[in-house]
Amino acid sequence: MNAPRILAASCLLTAYIATIPAANWAVTHYGAVPVGFGYLAPAGVYAVGIALVLRDLAREAAGRVAVVAAIAVGALLSWLLATPALALASAAAFAVSETLDFAVYEPLRTRGLTVAMLASNAVGLAADSLLFLWLAFGSLAYLPGQLLGKAWMTLAAVTVIALLNRARRVEVAA
């Protein structure tokens, strides 16, 4: 791997790791936030939504093993910023959603990054939401808002990535 790729992989992994404790910190300090259409979700919803995309980008740049290690590091950092129960719920939800994400992402990757990201994030955000809400709060009351908030972030990030890839292809062709 050359120096620019190592730097990109390191930046993506660092950003991904940071989203995990940031999400737990937000939930601990801000509770629920509006996500649109009258729904609420735990405040970490936006950080987790972007984490799903960063996870896929980090996997592209650094590989699966690095992403699994990043989840572990993020979970450990969460213990410093959130309650143990919240950190445990988050770690369990990330581990399960990551496993399901790998199962969807890897076979679809040959069809393109955007297709793989959208499909795997849909599965990952549903699994993460269900498990996290149940373990952290013992309730699925925030489920519609949790799904909506994560979907907003996934769609925004995938749109930006697709536009950047399109611009890069136009630039290369010129």
> Nearest-CA neighbor of 146 among 22, 52, 45, 54?
45
Most confident of 73-82, 92-101, 130-139: 130-139
**Using one digit for the tens of pLDDT, what is the confidence trace for 154-167?**
899 889 888 888 88
27 is written with which tokens?
């939930």
d(C-alpha 71, C-alpha 89), whole Å: 13
Q: Domain span at residue 158?
A: 3-173
Half-sphere exposure of 79 (CA within 13 A, CB side): 7
Task: Count how many domains the chain has.
Answer: 1
71 is written with which tokens?
């989840």
> Nearest-CA neighbor of 58 among 102, 23, 25?
102
Q: What CATH number is attached to the domain comprising 65?
A: 1.10.1760
Per-residue confidence (pLDDT) for residue 99, from 0 to 100: 87
154 is written with which tokens?
């996934």
Contact (CB, 8 A) for 58 and 86: no
Whether 3 has a pLDDT exceeding 80, the answer reads yes
Contact (CB, 8 A) for 78 and 87: yes
Contact (CB, 8 A) for 136 and 89: yes
Per-residue confidence (pLDDT) for residue 9, from 0 to 100: 94
d(C-alpha 74, C-alpha 113), whole Å: 24
**Using one digit for the tens of pLDDT, what is the confidence trace for 11-50?**
999 999 999 999 999 999 999 999 999 999 999 999 998 9
161 is written with which tokens?
């990535």
